Amino acid sequence: MIKHCACIDTLYTELPFEDRFAAAKADGFESVEFWDWRIRDLDQVKAAAEKAGIAISGFNGDADYSLVDPTHKEAYLRDLEKSLQAAKKVRAATVTIHSNALGEGGVVVNHYDELSDTVKLCSMYDTLLASVKLAESYGIRMNLEALNIKVDHVGNFLQTTQMAAEITRLINSPYLKVLFDAYHMQYNEGALCYNLEKYIDQIGHIHVADCPGRHEPGTGEINYHNVYQTLERLGYENRVGYELFPATDTKTAVEAIMND
């Protein structure tokens, strides 16, 4: 059975934020996730989730600093620790992290064209090693997400499932896994079922949205029926998050999610 997780920054946006927890629970979601904890009242978030009886899967754990910039290491770790503390406060299981700092609308703040790929990769690995120690101390898992560079996140360094999974395998910690976003990966690499099968041991969370458009399954080119069958065959037990923008409204999108 898929553990359905609603991204309440894209679903239920017709409701006040605190009401989205109960709405997601009523529609059959096991958990919720959202983007920026810094703009939320964490006491209200915790209370809303507890009242609704729904788990908080996680939120973004980085913001202004980049894994690929070696000069950002100490600031990145300080910022990450604040996110881990926030996750602990609201009993979230994970935080999502990225190679590059993201600004308004997910725009990549700095492409770091002046840095070689070698420097970027080594910086990522070094800072992730230190990040894992923090994550372990808080008992919160990090999910490392690759992003598409064609539409939403031009200039992002981490672009493929292979790179993300090979880094997490080398670091070899249960507190660092890969967030496989099918929408992003359809743009960057395709072969979704192949990559799921090859790297399933490293995948800690999955994001679903159809491509193009980033709407609910059935509105684009991805055969999610085959994707779900692959996940079932592989014994995937972690959450599937629906980080998608309804093509018409939340009700119609949720029907497509739950009936796919």
Task: Indicate if 85 and 206 belong to the same structural domain.
Answer: yes
For 9-35, the pLDDT digits (tens) are: 999 999 999 999 999 999 999 999 999
For 156-187, the pLDDT digits (tens) are: 999 999 999 999 999 999 999 999 999 999 99
Longest CA pairwise span in the chain (Å)? 50
Domain boundary among 214, 236, 253: 214
> Does 82 score more than 80 pLDDT?
yes
Domain boundary among 60, 81, 101: 60
Report the pLDDT averaged over residues 71-79: 98
Task: Indicate if 140 and 49 belong to the same structural domain.
Answer: no
Task: Indicate if 152 and 175 belong to the same structural domain.
Answer: yes
Task: Indicate if 53 and 67 belong to the same structural domain.
Answer: no
> Does 260 score more than 80 pLDDT?
no
Query: Phi and psi for 2 in degrees, rounded to 5?
Result: -75, 135
Task: Indicate if 45 and 126 belong to the same structural domain.
Answer: no
Q: Is 62 helix (H, G, I), strand (E, B) or coil?
A: coil
Domain count, the chain: 2
Q: Are 16 and 41 in contact (CB under 8 A)?
A: no
Q: What is the dihedral of CA 52, 53, 57, 63, to 10 degrees?
A: 40
The predicted pLDDT at position 16 comes to 98
DSSP 226: H
Residue 221 lies inside a defined structural domain of this protein = no
Query: What mean pLDDT value characterizes the chain?
Result: 97
Look at the pTM and tell me if it is higher than 0.75.
Answer: yes
Task: Indicate if 163 and 45 belong to the same structural domain.
Answer: no
For 204-221, the pLDDT digits (tens) are: 999 999 999 999 999 999
> Does 1 score more than 90 pLDDT?
no
> Does 130 score more than 90 pLDDT?
yes
What range defines the domain where residue 3 resides? Answer: 1-60
Report the pLDDT averaged over residues 97-108: 96
Task: Indicate if 56 and 119 belong to the same structural domain.
Answer: no
31-to-25, 41, 94, 134, 143 alpha-carbon distances in Å: 8, 18, 12, 24, 16
Give the CATH number of the domain where residue 123 resides.
Answer: 3.20.20.150
The alpha carbon dihedral of 149, 94, 112, 163 has a sign of negative
Q: How confident is the model at residue 139 (pLDDT cuts 50, 70, 90)?
A: very high
Residue 102 lies inside a defined structural domain of this protein = yes
Task: Indicate if 70 and 33 belong to the same structural domain.
Answer: no
The closest of 221, 224, 230 to 195, measured between CA atoms, is 230
Q: How confident is the model at residue 67 (pLDDT cuts 50, 70, 90)?
A: very high
Q: How confident is the model at residue 146 (pLDDT cuts 50, 70, 90)?
A: very high
Task: Indicate if 23 and 133 belong to the same structural domain.
Answer: no
Chain-centroid distance of CA 154 in Å reads 18
Percentage above 90 pLDDT, the chain: 98
Residue 250 lies inside a defined structural domain of this protein = no
Report the pLDDT averaged over residues 67-92: 98
Residue 260 lies inside a defined structural domain of this protein = no
**Euclidean distance between CA atoms 163 and 67, whole angstroms:** 14
Task: Indicate if 39 and 88 belong to the same structural domain.
Answer: no
Task: Indicate if 40 and 111 belong to the same structural domain.
Answer: no
Q: Are 223 and 255 in contact (CB under 8 A)?
A: no
Task: Indicate if 89 and 182 belong to the same structural domain.
Answer: yes
The predicted pLDDT at position 209 comes to 98
